[in-house]
Structure 1
Amino acid sequence: MVSEYINPLVIQRADPQIYKHSDGFYYFSASVPDYNRIELRRAKTINGLAHATPKTIWRKHDTGEMSQLIWAPEIHFLNGKWYVYFAAASTTEFDENGMFQHRMFVLESIAENPMESEDSWIEKGRVETPIDSFSLDATVFTLKNKLYYVWAQKDPTIKGNSNIYISEMANPWTLKTEPVLLTKPEYDWEKQIFWVNEGPAVIHHDNKIFLTYSASATDENYAMGMLSLNDDQDVLNPNAWRKSEKPVFTSNLEINQYGPGHNSFTVSEDGTKDILVYHSRNYTKIAGDPLYDPNRHTNVQEFGWDVEGYPVFGSPVNYNYE
């Protein structure tokens, strides 16, 4: 498969999200390797993001619950305002379950232009969940005028590092309903080194909702899974979702693209094609913890749909370095 887009699109940016807004701009957010700030880029084209100047909109605190390991920011436009969801920790140490100590937080822009300045972003605080535990990778989507929050979290009573949950929201920073467990690691490909379901992303196509997620350790084992349901079903009913038994996007060993995942979705410039956004590495020999290896790069590629209306992601594309 050949991509018309530059790949890697943005180097050393993991957990990427690209959002196309009604102003004609693409907005890009991702984890920075220093894990110490949130930055945005914007451009009129997807390829333009490769050369766009990053703008820091928020920096970690010196101490406290938002002072360490700033992960996976996502920008969304809700009810006429810009919001950024992200995870942060108070320490780099592990908790009693052997997990990092992240919780989830929200920023709100008081400016129409989210690129304006750091002063234009205010902290709306932590998104509280019933279980006070490791939680991260939040995304949101709207269906039938209701806002839903989807995230990954550790339940101490369930084996593994994280599961995927969903809740309706009362507002962009507050849950309205009890969280519902949608998926936990159960297949072998979700339990390589670590038992992980994380990085949810949602796309609505025809009459179906698709929720992709990433599983296993963040090395070459990292892969994408998928849940689906019809959009006339209740998204808060876990039994309504159908989970794929096999991964839907995996490493491409022939071209040295390893561990594709933590994806998001956007659309082409003319609005006619769906685009998969994800990170991957081009080598497997990682010194130390893969989390601290900075070379997870952002990639983008078109994908299509089969006759039943399900996405066909194909395989990661090769670098083209345009």
Structure 2
Amino acid sequence: MERADPWVYKHTDGYYYFTGSVPGYEEIEVRRAKTLNELEDGERASVWHAHPSGEMSKLIWAPEIHFVQGKWYIYFAAAGSSEVAKGTFQHRMYALECADENPLTGNWVEKGQVKTAFESFSLDATVFELNGKLYYVWAQKDPEIPGNSNLYLSEMENPWTLKGEQIMLSIPEYDWEKIGFLVNEGPAVIIRNGKVFITYSGSATDENYCMGLLWADETADLMKKESWNKAKEPVFKTSEKNKKFGPGHNSFTVSEDGTKDILIYHARPQIVLEEEPLDVPDRHANAQVFTWDEDGFPVFGEPR
């Protein structure tokens, strides 16, 4: 399936809901099916289109579909221009809401920009709930420091509004996060074994793209930076022998029977040699089962 930034959510109705960056970056498509393998040819609908002009008119990237507080939400990034300024694109983050039971046929309402503490390139938002609180995790450029994007965390007042202070979770600091570009992006959350795990992706979107890992105890104050830990090495990276290059921008789901955790990610079938990687639409969605070690940490292995 030719979709970068793949997001899969298994709902209580037994359906898997799938979305991702559509080549051309002009629309948001949602698919659903009762099994993961059926998503490729499953029921689908284009639920939102880029505006003719203005802030939500260009480069519609990395949508995610969530069911929060009884309604459907799609979080995505969009820009008002395709131009690069000061080393980055001009994306901001937005939210859509659907109160209908079926998000493929329901009415989607624009809830506007999700505003953070400062205005700059921002994208790849995800949400999770824990202990009665709703959290928002995203990637954003800090104009005051070098680099393309860092990871941030905030509590939410409602599914489209942040509240209180935001904290910086991670900044590109290791060599494997800084190849081509200084990037931490594409966060995804899974809560298991008493811990909150956040995977993310680093480096340029070519064969150097790979996944890192953050974690905190689920009983800790997540809004304190000292609650969080960071792996020094990537946890999922290119497999030349299996022809999976630049794996990353993942999401998590479970098997049909709910017994296995499944990693959803995109990867390229070959190295991008001469073109700008973002202009090469060969990042395909993949799914594979992963396990947990005796300490309760994910073991992703290598792309298969």
Superposition TM-score, scaled by structure 1 size: 0.93
Question: Is it true that 1:13 corresponds to 2:23 in the alignment?
Answer: no
Q: Following TM superposition, by how much is the alpha carbon of 1:28 offset from its aligned partner in structure 2, in angstroms?
A: 0.2
Structure possessing the higher relative contact order (Cα contacts under 8 Å, 6 or more residues apart): 1
How many angstroms apart in 1 are the aligned matches of 2:133 and 2:108? Answer: 24
Question: Is it true that 1:213 corresponds to 2:200 in the alignment?
Answer: yes
Counterpart residue number, 1:179 = 166
2:288 alignment partner, SS class? strand
Question: Is it true that 1:237 corresponds to 2:224 in the alignment?
Answer: yes
How many angstroms apart in 2 are the aligned matches of 1:215 and 1:98? Answer: 16
Give 1:14's aligned amino acid. A
Q: Following TM superposition, by how much is the alpha carbon of 1:50 offset from its aligned partner in structure 2, in angstroms?
A: 1.7
Aligned match for 1:67, one of 57, 67, 73: 57
Counterpart residue number, 2:90 = 101
Q: Following TM superposition, by how much is the alpha carbon of 1:253 offset from its aligned partner in structure 2, in angstroms?
A: 1.0
Q: Following TM superposition, by how much is the alpha carbon of 1:287 offset from its aligned partner in structure 2, in angstroms?
A: 3.7
- RMSD over aligned Cα, in angstroms? 0.8
Q: After the TM superposition, which parts of structure 1 deviate over 2 Å for at least 4 consecutive aligned residues?
A: none
Given that residues 16 and 262 in structure 1 are in contact (C-alpha distance below 8 angstroms), is that contact kept between their aligned partners in structure 2? yes
Counterpart residue number, 1:309 = 296
Counterpart residue number, 2:79 = 89
Given that residues 206 and 272 in structure 2 are in contact (C-alpha distance below 8 angstroms), is that contact kept between their aligned partners in structure 1? no
Q: Following TM superposition, by how much is the alpha carbon of 1:159 offset from its aligned partner in structure 2, in angstroms?
A: 1.2
Q: Following TM superposition, by how much is the alpha carbon of 1:288 offset from its aligned partner in structure 2, in angstroms?
A: 1.7
Question: Is it true that 1:76 corresponds to 2:66 in the alignment?
Answer: yes
Q: Following TM superposition, by how much is the alpha carbon of 1:148 offset from its aligned partner in structure 2, in angstroms?
A: 0.1
Aligned match for 2:35, one of 34, 38, 45: 45
Q: Following TM superposition, by how much is the alpha carbon of 1:229 offset from its aligned partner in structure 2, in angstroms?
A: 1.1
1:141 alignment partner, SS class? strand
Give 1:38's aligned amino acid. I
Counterpart residue number, 1:3 = none
1:156 alignment partner, SS class? coil
How many angstroms apart in 2 are the aligned matches of 1:27 and 1:48? Answer: 11
2:176 alignment partner, SS class? helix
Question: Is it true that 1:114 corresponds to 2:103 in the alignment?
Answer: yes
Give 2:48's aligned amino acid. W
Q: Deviations over 1:15-46 (max 9, x none)?
A: 00100000000000100111000000000011
Counterpart residue number, 1:274 = 261
- Cα 1:142–1:306, aligned 2, differ >3 Å: closer, same or farther? same
How many angstroms apart in 1 are the aligned matches of 2:159 and 2:173? Answer: 31
Aligned match for 2:44, one of 38, 54, 58: 54
Give 1:104's aligned amino acid. M
Given that residues 110 and 122 in structure 1 are in contact (C-alpha distance below 8 angstroms), is that contact kept between their aligned partners in structure 2? no
Deviates more, 1:45-54 or 1:204-213: 45-54
Deviates more, 1:236-245 or 1:83-92: 236-245
How many angstroms apart in 1 are the aligned matches of 2:225 and 2:78? Answer: 28
Q: Point out the structure with the larger strand share.
A: 2
Give 2:114's aligned amino acid. V
Q: Following TM superposition, by how much is the alpha carbon of 1:143 offset from its aligned partner in structure 2, in angstroms?
A: 0.3
Given that residues 139 and 149 in structure 1 are in contact (C-alpha distance below 8 angstroms), is that contact kept between their aligned partners in structure 2? yes
Superposition TM-score, scaled by structure 2 size: 0.99
Given that residues 33 and 43 in structure 2 are in contact (C-alpha distance below 8 angstroms), is that contact kept between their aligned partners in structure 1? no
**Equivalences for 1:136-175 in 2 at 5 Å?**
136-175=123-162
2:124 alignment partner, SS class? strand
Q: How many residues align?
A: 304
